[in-house]
Structure 1
Amino acid sequence: MANHCNSTSSVTVAEVARGSHVIKIDGYLRTKELMENGKYVSSIPFSVGGHSWFITYFPNGVNTESKDYLSVFLTIDSACAGGVKATFSFALLDKNGRSVQLYSKLYPLHTFTEKGSDWGHSKFMKKTDLERSVYLSNDSFSIMCDLTVMKDICSKETTQKQFVVVPPSDLHQHLGDLLLKNMDGTDVTFNVGQDIFSAHKCILAARSSVFRAEFFGVMSAKARRTIKIEDIEAGVFRALLHFIYTDSLPETAQNIVMAQHLVVAADRYNVGRLKLICEEKLSKHIDSNMVATTLALAEQHSCYGLKEACFEFLASRSNLERMMASDDYEHLKISCPSVLMELVARFLPQQEK
């Protein structure tokens, strides 16, 4: 018999917020020696679904029963009147930033009732297993937390029965699993420095006109299964693939330097949305030390919005003078003389031109 309920109001999980955070443990052995059972280190706070969270890591277990294990917990760090519902997972990462299936644990829906409440795994992984594994490299390792926060949206009062609730789209998660976990059906391999990445031609071609031309164009070599990438760093290429499969950037690729590199990669492979995301990030972090480099990057890769943001910053005479006194100004003069002429025409008084 089907189960249903009558109600004078309906509540539907209409919104979710997703995010991920990586905690990297440097100096594993020293941390294990210094910290007693029940003691922990915590990650920096991160925000998902309008709430602040952090990860706690217990190198010698959270209690006496788990003293031979690593323990990891997710803690809510903000007020949560009425409780916050969330699902999450912890996963050990390999050297390429991919989840290790054997040490990946998914947690069912849990309600965090108050600030400081936590949930996790007291026996996430045996210490001896980590110490014998390849995942402990240079005395460090990383654990990623994928977090989905539920937001209940109350509709107006109604007496209609609710039989079906449609969940939010999880297409990006399934495609991400193809890249990061099982890699079923991969048909092309990229050699990038010392790293190797397996991928699917059809997905790459659907997201990038450059890959489409390379794999399926008139001059394509369809039987070609291995491609060597010479001029992109492995970490940048990994972030590019992650975006192509999931339409999002990993937490480990959110810094300004990575955004600069990804502008170049996104322009090269014509991944327009990624390029704009990185442009937006860079436009919000312009200062006198980096504006010359950013302006050269914007000019060389046709980032018109970023270029205008740089010009707006340089409209201030003091900012312009500090930029012209920087070491990167010489690079701008040599690499982009046309943008320098435009800068002069816009901002320098007639007698100085």
Structure 2
Amino acid sequence: MANPKPGLDSASSSSFISETVNGMHRFTVQGYSLAKGMGVGKYIMSDTFTVGGYDWAIYFYPDGKNPEDNSMYVSVFIALASDGTDVRALFELSMVDQSGNGNNKVHSHFQRALESGPYTLKYRGSMWGYKRFFRRNLLEASDYLKDDCLVMYCKVGVVRNHLECPKLRTISVPPSDMGKSFKELLDSEVGWDIVFHVGNEKFKAHKVVLAVRSPVFKAQFYGLVGDCNIDKVVVKDIDPFIFKVMPLDPFCLPSKEEK
């Protein structure tokens, strides 16, 4: 198949992936009537919970967060409760409809992510939420308050980025054991085709292995003036014990062929 881009011999690829690590926390406020009236800017805090490697906490202000614009509302915020800078995340705060009808009051940053992107928290204590989460008189007359109890959920999605590159598959190659295999072949005498007579002892071997390991034997067995039909070599002037342990490279011995 023709190369679609002339001059391009090879190509590589990579992918930058952004995704969210999501988690949720349920926060229950029991005794709402006792918390009400604690003062503007005063809050009730949930236990900390961890999402995406960071700690978070829900802040509920029964009398509103600021007096100038929301003292008639309850305020709800989610805050970064651990050290971190420029933590990008998506949030969803919801108050549960305890009538069972499922009409939860939801403020979600997840739904607006395509338009505005994730919210960035600059430092520990940074918050996201709503000063005017719910008008207080409407809340107290609604099904969100039951048995003097409020139930809230907070969903956090911490943005994680990573670069993904195709992984090269590798095959682990074990160390060579060819020497061991050749020794086993020699010891077994299977397939031998030549015998060395050294003193009163005989040593059976394989001509092709000898030829690979020794240029002398290669020329003697397979050279232009060699004889591939040799099946016996008499080796003189060397002790059989020395012959057995000596290396084959180079293997140049005084010898006499007998047919």
CA contact 1:91–1:100 (8 Å) conserved in 2 = no
TM-score (norm 1): 0.39
Is structure 2 residue 141 aligned with structure 1 residue 139?
Answer: no
**Deviation string for 1:246-271 (max 9, x for gaps)?**
xxxxxxxxxxxxxxxxxxxxxxxxxx
Is structure 2 residue 120 aligned with structure 1 residue 111?
Answer: yes
**1:22 deviation in Å?**
1.3
CA contact 1:91–1:99 (8 Å) conserved in 2 = no
Q: State the distance in 1 between where 2:63 and 2:89 align.
A: 27
Higher relative contact order (CA 8 A, sep 6+): 2
Paired residue for 1:43? 46
Alpha-carbon distance change, 153 to 98 in structure 1, aligned in 2, over 3 angstroms: farther
Q: What does residue range 1-353 of structure 1 map to in structure 2 within 5 Å?
A: 11-13=16-18, 15-33=19-37, 35-64=38-67, 65-81=69-85, 83-95=86-98, 100-101=103-104, 103-107=105-109, 108=112, 109-155=118-164
**1:143 deviation in Å?**
1.1
Q: State the distance in 2 between where 1:155 and 1:115 align.
A: 30
**Deviation string for 1:213-237 (max 9, x for gaps)?**
xxxxxxxxxxxxxxxxxxxxxxxxx
**1:96 deviation in Å?**
6.7
**1:12 deviation in Å?**
2.7
Alpha-carbon distance change, 145 to 12 in structure 1, aligned in 2, over 3 angstroms: same
Structure 1 residue runs of 4 or more that deviate by more than 6 Å after TM superposition: none
**Deviation string for 1:290-333 (max 9, x for gaps)?**
xxxxxxxxxxxxxxxxxxxxxxxxxxxxxxxxxxxxxxxxxxxx
The aligned amino acid for 1:118 is: M
Q: How many residues align?
A: 144
**1:95 deviation in Å?**
2.4
CA contact 1:69–1:124 (8 Å) conserved in 2 = yes
The aligned amino acid for 2:106 is: S
Q: What SS class does the counterpart of residue 36 from structure 2 fall into?
A: helix
The aligned amino acid for 1:137 is: K
Alpha-carbon distance change, 50 to 96 in structure 1, aligned in 2, over 3 angstroms: farther
CA contact 1:22–1:142 (8 Å) conserved in 2 = yes
Relative to total residues, which structure has the larger strand share, 1 or 2? 2
Structure 1: segments with no counterpart, 5+ residues: 1-8, 157-353
The aligned amino acid for 2:123 is: E
**1:73 deviation in Å?**
0.4
Q: State the distance in 2 between where 1:144 and 1:133 align.
A: 17
The aligned amino acid for 2:45 is: S
Alpha-carbon distance change, 127 to 56 in structure 1, aligned in 2, over 3 angstroms: same
TM-score (norm 2): 0.52
Alpha-carbon distance change, 96 to 152 in structure 1, aligned in 2, over 3 angstroms: farther
Q: State the distance in 2 between where 1:58 and 1:106 align.
A: 19
Relative to total residues, which structure has the larger helix share, 1 or 2? 1
Q: State the distance in 2 between where 1:105 and 1:24 align.
A: 17
Rg (Cα) greater in structure: 2
Q: State the distance in 2 between where 1:25 and 1:97 align.
A: 18
Alpha-carbon distance change, 117 to 97 in structure 1, aligned in 2, over 3 angstroms: farther
**Deviation string for 1:271-305 (max 9, x for gaps)?**
xxxxxxxxxxxxxxxxxxxxxxxxxxxxxxxxxxx
CA contact 2:99–2:144 (8 Å) conserved in 1 = no
The aligned amino acid for 1:45 is: T
Instruction: Quote the RMSD (CA, aligned, Å).
Output: 2.0
Q: State the distance in 1 between where 2:100 and 2:46 align.
A: 18
The aligned amino acid for 2:35 is: T
